[in-house]
Amino acid sequence: MAITIGIVALIFFLALGMPVAFALCVSGSIGLIWAEGIQGMMAILITSPFRTAASFILITVPMFILMAEIASIGGLAKELFVLALRWVGHLPGGLAMATMVANAGFGAMSGSSTAAAATMSRIAIPEMLNHGYNRVIASGTVAMGGTLAIMIPPSVPLVVYGITTETPIGKLLIAGILPGILTTIFYCFGIYLWVKLKPELVRPIRPFSWRQRWEALKGLIPFLCLVLVVIGGMYSGLATPSEVAALGALGSLIICVVMRRIDFRGFVLALERTVKATSMIFAIIIGAMIFGYFSTVTGSTQKMIESVGILAIPPWAILFVLIIIYIILGCFMDQMAILLLTLPLTFPLVVSLGYNPIWFGIIITALVEIGLVTPPFGMNVYVVGTVSGIPLHDIFKGAIVFLIFEGVAFIFLLFFPIISLFLPSLMR
């Protein structure tokens, strides 16, 4: 009865439009009052928010976000786009491929899908439209390419997953490298097929000279420096994820200052954006922890696991149902809200079925990627529409085409766990 009241209250508050963080907090508190009384509820509210926010590992979140904002303001993504354009721009759909590759590269410097989508909307969409690309393929490429930022490390959703489930964050982040590369390849292949089937969507671009291509390689220098700090630090075991995040933020600042890409006003703007994003994420985390305490007190998670255990259905069928549920939730909810709302229930269940927690983290992240571009919520679609001015229905059209190839990549990740687990298995 208690868990039913809590879940009904949560759905009711979300339907009223209450922010997810407060809906989780209020519904969890109502459930705690029913289960433990006012004194029990107050005891948790007095200690839980501070203890949750004061966790040292959470410093990873604002540091990665700050690194992304500095890299965005400093225009580091522009260097990657120019590099990719000069090397693959002459191919069928080459500008779109260059945008996708640049998105993957910027993802390795950001970890934020909305930051990647907004940045590449300013850089790549005008370039594609000026070269005669149809706005459907131009906007769809940017919206879908932005999702790569939450798979390729550093990834804020993977950090939150690791904190919530107590899974090693370093291994989680490294696990996203090969899936991110695989997904990028499938996207580029999808662009090639799309353009071959509908050549009127694009116009050919003259090849750049080899001199221009080699000159563009200098744009790799800041990218490689940050990758060396972030991925190299985690993979080698020389630094913890929190230390790597701080070094990455400092590294992006030093690079942008040396290249004269950011001034004091730009740095303050990066800090403001970081504070806003961090506040939102921390509020959701605190609300989720309160709701999680409620679930623990009522024993709902354990009861659910026990109920599933006596069902005469195979583990893969249960996993399939969870995948469908996550896809549906992605149509209506923010990525952080989905993770923090569902993981206290789904993670113990999946682990009890014998699935690897790192692999499951990658699967969840891939599902969240899909939610970033599916209607009606589709956060990346709204970001691209706001920045570019392209109608939302055109952006959704383009993104839906890419979802076909996202689905193929997801099937590979689902049936071949070695793709996600190979690199983590080599870590110290």
**Alpha carbon distance 118, 385 (integer Å):** 9
Position 189 confidence tier, pLDDT thresholds 50, 70, 90 = very high
Rg (the chain; Cα; Å): 22
Structural domain that includes position 113:
56-286+301-425
Structure tokens belonging to residue 287: 């609300």
Calculate mean pLDDT across residues 355-384: 89
Residue 305 has pLDDT above 70, yes or no: no
Position 310 confidence tier, pLDDT thresholds 50, 70, 90 = low
In a domain, 23, yes or no: no
| pLDDT given for residue 100 in this prediction | 93
Calculate mean pLDDT across residues 279-299: 78
Calculate mean pLDDT across residues 27-34: 83
The pLDDT tens digits for 107-127 are 887 777 877 888 888 889 998
| pLDDT given for residue 301 in this prediction | 57
Residues with Cβ within 8 Å of 192's Cβ and at least 6 positions away in sequence, in order, are: 91, 92, 93, 97
Q: Residues 191, 141: contact at Cβ < 8 Å?
A: yes
Residue 11 has pLDDT above 90, yes or no: no
| pLDDT given for residue 366 in this prediction | 93
Structure tokens belonging to residue 324: 């469908």
**Alpha carbon distance 185, 181 (integer Å):** 6
- Listing DSSP states for 105-144 in one string gives HHHHHH--HHHHHHHHHHHHHHHHHHTT--HHHHHHHHHH
Q: Residues 117, 146: contact at Cβ < 8 Å?
A: yes
In a domain, 330, yes or no: yes
Residue owning tokens 């956060």: 379
| Lowest mean pLDDT across 73-82, 303-312, 317-326 | 303-312
In a domain, 97, yes or no: yes
Calculate mean pLDDT across residues 94-111: 86
| pLDDT given for residue 333 in this prediction | 73
More confident residue, 236 or 317: 317
| Count: domains in the chain | 1
**Long-range contact list for 310-317, CB < 8 A, 24+ apart?**
315/353, 315/354, 315/355
**Alpha carbon distance 287, 322 (integer Å):** 23
Neighbours of 403 (CB within 10 A): 17
In a domain, 5, yes or no: no
In a domain, 38, yes or no: no
| pLDDT given for residue 308 in this prediction | 61
| pTM of structure | 0.83
Residue 378 has pLDDT above 90, yes or no: no
**Alpha carbon distance 154, 235 (integer Å):** 12
Residue 278 has pLDDT above 80, yes or no: yes
**Alpha carbon distance 345, 302 (integer Å):** 9
Q: In 3-state terms, the chain is what percent helix, strand and coil (to 5)?
A: 80, 0, 20
| pLDDT given for residue 356 in this prediction | 95
Position 194 confidence tier, pLDDT thresholds 50, 70, 90 = very high
Omega prior to 376 cis, within 30 of 0: yes
For 184, half-sphere exposure in the C-beta direction (CA atoms, 13 angstrom radius) is 24
Burial class (CB in 10 A: 0-12, 13-18, 19+), 428: exposed
Neighbours of 317 (CB within 10 A): 10
Residue 228 has pLDDT above 90, yes or no: no
Residue 337 has pLDDT above 90, yes or no: no
**Alpha carbon distance 247, 241 (integer Å):** 10
In a domain, 269, yes or no: yes
| pLDDT given for residue 283 in this prediction | 83
Extract the runs of DSSP E, i.e. beta strands, from 35-96: none
In a domain, 176, yes or no: yes
In a domain, 47, yes or no: no
Q: Residues 416, 355: contact at Cβ < 8 Å?
A: no
Position 226 confidence tier, pLDDT thresholds 50, 70, 90 = confident
Of 237, 243, 234, 252, which is closest to residue 173 (Cα–Cα)?
A: 234
- Give backbone dihedrals phi and psi of 206, rounded to 5 degrees, phi first: -65, 145
